[in-house]
Amino acid sequence: MIKAILIDDEPLARSIIKEYLQGFPEIEVMDECNNGFEGVKAIQQHQPELLFLDVQMPKINGFEMLELLEYTPAVIFTTAFDEYAIKAFETHAIDYLLKPFSKERFSKAVQKWLSGRTQSTSTAQVQNLNDTNFNHADEQHRIVVKNGSNIKIIPVQEVNYIEAYDDYVKIFTKDAHHLKKKTMNYFEKVLSASDFLRVHRSYIVQLSQITRIEPFEKNNHIALLKSGAKIPLSRNGYLKLKEVLGI
C-alpha cells in the first residue's frame, strides 16, 4: 500500500482529490491537513511516499512547509495559482495541477509518478529547496524555522544578522538564534536590499542594527551591532557598507 497525505486548506479540494484517488486503490490517504503546520506533523507521523500539496495556505505556504522537512516525499502540487509552476518544477515536483483540474489530468500526474518512482527523488527535492529562490512575497517578510517539534515564524525586522554555518545558516534575533537549511545566496536574494546587506562571505546584517564601524587588525574592519555582536567585514563588504551608509 502506498501512503499519501493531502495538504490543502480547502475541504472541497481535498474531497475532489479523494474522489479521484478511488481510481488508484493502491494509494491510501493517511491524513488530511488544513495547513502546513498540520502537514509537517502528519508527515513525521506517517512517513508518506506521496503528497498532494497546495501552495497558498494559512500560516505557512507549501514551499515553506517543505523546507521544514527532514524527509521529503514525492510532491504533486495542487493550486489555483500558476505563477509558482516553474519554481515547483525546480524542486523536482512530480507535477503541478492548476485548479480546477480534471480527473484525467489528475490521473495522468499520479500515473506519471507510479511509472517513475525512485528513491533519489526526495533527496533531490530537499537540496533544490535549499538553493532555490522562490521569490514568494511572504518569504521577503518572514523566515520560518523549526526547532524540534516547534515551528516559529520570525518577522525579518527581528533578524539582527545571519551567519553561514556549514550546510545551514544561523539566524540571530535579539534573544536567540535558529538554524535553517538554506544558503547565504538565498537570503541575499530574498531579503530587502534596503534593509539587509551581505558584508562578508559568511555574514548578512540588518543595516538598522549597526551602531558603528571600527578598524580591526591591519586594514580590516568590524561592524558593531546594537546587540553587542561584532561582525567582520570583508574588504568589498566594507566598501559596500560605506556606500550604503553614505560615509
Mind listing the pLDDT tens digit for each residue in 171-222?
A: 999 989 999 988 999 999 999 999 999 999 999 999 999 999 999 888 899 9
In DSSP terms, which residues pair with 153 in a beta bridge? 144
pLDDT at 147: 79
Q: Please tell me the chain's helix, strand, coil percentages from 3-state DSSP, rounded to the nearest 5.
A: 35, 30, 35
pLDDT exceeds cutoff 90 at 165: yes
Contact residues for 93 (Cβ-Cβ < 8 A; gap 6+): 75, 76, 77, 125
| More confident position, 167 or 162 | 162
> In angstroms, what CA-CA distances link 138 with 60, 61, 88, 162?
8, 8, 16, 18
Q: Give 245's pLDDT tier (boundaries 50, 70, 90).
A: confident
Assigned C-alpha cell, 213:
564601524
What is the pLDDT averaged over residues 82-101?
Answer: 80
What is the pLDDT averaged over residues 115-138?
Answer: 55
- In this structure, the dihedral spanned by the alpha carbons of residues 242, 245, 246 and 247, taken in order and rounded to 10 degrees, is -50
Q: Give me the phi and psi of 66, to 5 degrees please.
A: -60, -35
pLDDT at 126: 47
pLDDT exceeds cutoff 90 at 3: yes
| CA atoms of 139 and 182, how far apart (whole Å) | 12
pLDDT at 24: 97
What is the pLDDT averaged over residues 120-130?
Answer: 49
| More confident position, 68 or 226 | 226
Determine how many CB atoms are found less than 10 A away from the CB of residue 104. 8
pLDDT exceeds cutoff 80 at 156: yes
Question: Strands 2-7, 50-53: parallel, antiparallel or unpaired by DSSP?
Answer: parallel
| CA atoms of 62 and 53, how far apart (whole Å) | 7
Q: H or E element: which one contains 180?
A: strand 177-180
- 182: nearest Cα among 215, 207, 211, 204: 204
Q: H or E element: which one contains 63?
A: helix 62-67
pLDDT at 119: 46
Assigned C-alpha cell, 164:
553561514
Question: What per-residue string of b and e applies to 117-154 under the rule 16 or more CB within 10 Å gives b?
Answer: eeeebbeebbebbbebbbebeebeebbbbbeeeebeeb
Ordered structural domains, the chain, with CATH: 2-131 (3.40.50.2300), 143-245 (2.40.50.1020)
